[in-house]
Amino acid sequence: MLSFQHLSSLCAVLFLLLGPVEADLDNTTSPTSVFRSRPDLHAPIISFDILRPELLAPGYIFLAPYRNTDPGPYIYDNDGQLVWSSAGTLGGSTAHNPHVCEYQGADHICFFQGHQHHGWARGHGIIMNKNYRVVRTIEAVGAATQMDMHEFRLIDGGKRALVTIYQPRQYDLGAFGVGPGLGWIHDSLFQEIDVETGELLFEWRALDHIAPSFSYTCIDCTDTSGDGLTRDTPWDFFHINSIDKNADGDYLISARHVGAVYKISGATGTVIWQLNGANPTFKNINLHFSSQHHALFFKENATHTVISLFDNASNTFNITNQESRGMLIGINHIDRTASKLHEWRAPEERGVLSGSQGNMQILDGRNVFIGWGDHAYFSEHLPSGEAVMYGKVAQRASDVMMYRCNKYVWKGEPLTAPSLWTYSRTGSGASDMVFYVSWNGATEVRSWNFYTADTSTGPWELIGTANKTGFETEYLLTGSLGWAYAEALDADRKPLKRGQSSIVKTFVPSDLIVSGCNDRGCDDVMPLREGEVFNKTVPEVGNRGDNYTQDLGVNTISYYPMLKYTVRGWSLSTLTIPAVLVLLIIGGFFFMLGRRRMARIGVVWHEKLVSIVSSFLGRVFGGSGRSDTEYRKLETTDST
């Protein structure tokens, strides 16, 4: 029989088996990027204290900072370069825990979106496909209030969802010193919901199983505990913050304010066992944690259970360890003991003490990924504990936070087109032309083709190719032309579907502002000095604006490059002439022979003619077609 001591000593072997008030934001504490092709985005700039690319697991980093300029989900690559900003798709809004989830047999992105309260939230779950389009939302059901932020995850191949709910209830708090009169308490609920039908499959309520007197968080003694006096400030005695489910149908939940992890029967809802807290089932050996988050099953059999969790070790007001850490815990059900098997700490001299939030994710390649909660940091570690990545989205002074962050392999294919901005200081050969191109969410772009023309209708000339460099690629052309577009290429240098930008007119600054410009662009207008005002004027437009569009040279019928389809290298325009000749010959025979004779011939030769034509079309048009660029209006109704 495998003993608990064996588990502790063979930790390395286990890993081999792993197949309310916003602070002032500025560009020092919370720096953001400036993209000329997407000036609407304010993506955080990630700074790395540690980055060893050769030791990192493959995949993309999924973040959702809040209290920043553009809150919401983001995706970054292993170099810290932006891949996708949800603000460019959904607009900036508070969201939590973006992660890859399986739904209807394909990878999707799941996350919570809603209104943030202090320590909890109200909202719903979002399921988004690879095109970054919302395909389904998940809401709490039954008699419960809205879904909470702490857990939203799909299970059973996306057929079911696990969600948390914070339900305010009137409650007799007289024994806790609140009264006379009814007080208010937050009941922690979780539900399992059928994703397609919305049917409630299971519901669990903390007040029906756990006495509030077991809480380590007293009324009105922390910033998130609540004073219990009103429906808007209920006492949060339990604070559920994660749910997991095993193959037997039982649940694992973490409750921060009681400092405990519970295994819940999926059949009856009763507590099977409790780890840590005021009424533990097991004796802790070399183990202590508090205010924890993100408890998950790792391995389990009849005699032993191994779980992972993030030990905050602090709720800001009370501290049980000098630093927070990711932790692997082994439980021996025979000896009724629990012990720490391994831990992962932040690579700071004194560690990081996260007073709230945080998570730990064991990656497929054995590495461990950790989000540091109220510190907007993340790290990746080897199984040994060594950090191979340590990134910071914002400095602590900014008060920017991240509830959870994760790492997953992902393939994004946005329905939007690439964004392009071109610039020339003079608009002539006296200065260069600069291209700035990006495609929000596209993971398959490896290089860009750049095309120019003298007019918006062409003819177009391919003037250069550049490898993709970060979110926005810059390309410099000697000389200048009036119009341009860009084309995204994959790893095989083939054009990507929807990979053509709109046709843009090269921006050339007027003589009135050119003094504030250089060869790469123009500076922002300087702030006015005290007492200074602009001499604002309204310029006149000649001919009452009748020729305004014509003078601009814009082709308002076709803003986007269109596709030229080919079959086995033959363009459809090339095949048009032979097709017309065939039709003319058939028409000539019809005219000479007359309708009746042609009808008799048609009856005799019908099947043979069908066979011949089918064979001919198969030889000429067979094989898969490909698309080259010419001009087309963007099609937004393509099948996804």
At residue 173, what are phi and psi to the nearest 5 degrees? -105, 20
Q: What tokens were used for 70?
A: 């553009």
Location of structure tokens 């930790």 = 11
- According to DSSP, the residues that pair with 153 across neighbouring strands are 162
| Cα dist from 476 to 426, 456, 472, 489, 524, whole Å | 14, 20, 13, 18, 21
At residue 592, what are phi and psi to the nearest 5 degrees? -75, -40
Q: What tokens were used for 609?
A: 């003619």
Report the 10 Å Cβ neighbour count for 638. Answer: 10
363 in Cβ contact with 382 (< 8 Å): no
| pLDDT confidence of residue 585 | 75
| pLDDT confidence of residue 581 | 73
Report the 10 Å Cβ neighbour count for 281. Answer: 18
561 in Cβ contact with 630 (< 8 Å): yes
d(CA 510, CA 456): 20
Averaged pLDDT, 85-92: 92
Give the pLDDT confidence of 402-441 residue by residue, as tens digits. Answer: 999 999 999 999 999 999 999 999 998 889 999 999 999 9
241 in Cβ contact with 258 (< 8 Å): no
Cβ contacts of 20 within 8 Å, gap of 6 or more: 118
Averaged pLDDT, 224-230: 94
Q: What tokens were used for 340?
A: 């720490």
Q: What tokens were used for 533?
A: 């005002």
| pLDDT confidence of residue 408 | 98
Three-state secondary structure call for residue 208: helix
d(CA 175, CA 416): 59
Task: Starting at the earlier edge strand, list the strands of the sheet with 563-567.
Answer: 570-571, 563-567, 626-629
d(CA 198, CA 336): 39
Give the pLDDT confidence of 526-537 residue by residue, as tens digits. Answer: 888 999 998 888
* Lowest mean pLDDT, pick from 4-18, 163-177, 315-329, 457-471: 4-18
Q: How far apart are the first and last CA of the chain?
A: 52
- According to DSSP, the residues that pair with 345 across neighbouring strands are 325
Q: Is residue 405 left, alpha or beta, with left meaning phi > 0 and alpha meaning psi from -120 to 50?
A: beta
CA 514, 515, 519, 522 dihedral sign is negative
Three-state secondary structure call for residue 640: coil
d(CA 626, CA 563): 10
351 in Cβ contact with 324 (< 8 Å): yes
| pLDDT confidence of residue 4 | 35
| Interaxial angle between packed helices 572-593 and 595-621, expressed in degrees from 0 to 180 and rounded to the nearest 10 | 160
Location of structure tokens 């058939």 = 586
Residue 135 one-letter amino acid: V
Residue 21 has pLDDT above 90, yes or no: no
Please report which confidence band the pLDDT of residue 542 belongs to, taking 50, 70 and 90 as the band edges.
Answer: confident
d(CA 399, CA 28): 13
Biggest CA-to-CA distance, the chain: 107
pTM of the predicted model as reported, rounded to 2 decimal places: 0.84
d(CA 101, CA 138): 14
Residue 470 has pLDDT above 60, yes or no: yes
Angle at Cα 248 formed by Cα 242 and Cα 251, nearest 5°? 20
Residue 143 has pLDDT above 90, yes or no: no
Location of structure tokens 């007119």 = 505
Please report which confidence band the pLDDT of residue 616 belongs to, taking 50, 70 and 90 as the band edges.
Answer: low
Cis peptide before 280 (omega within 30 of 0): no
d(CA 452, CA 460): 6
Q: How far is CA 474 from the centre of its chain?
A: 25
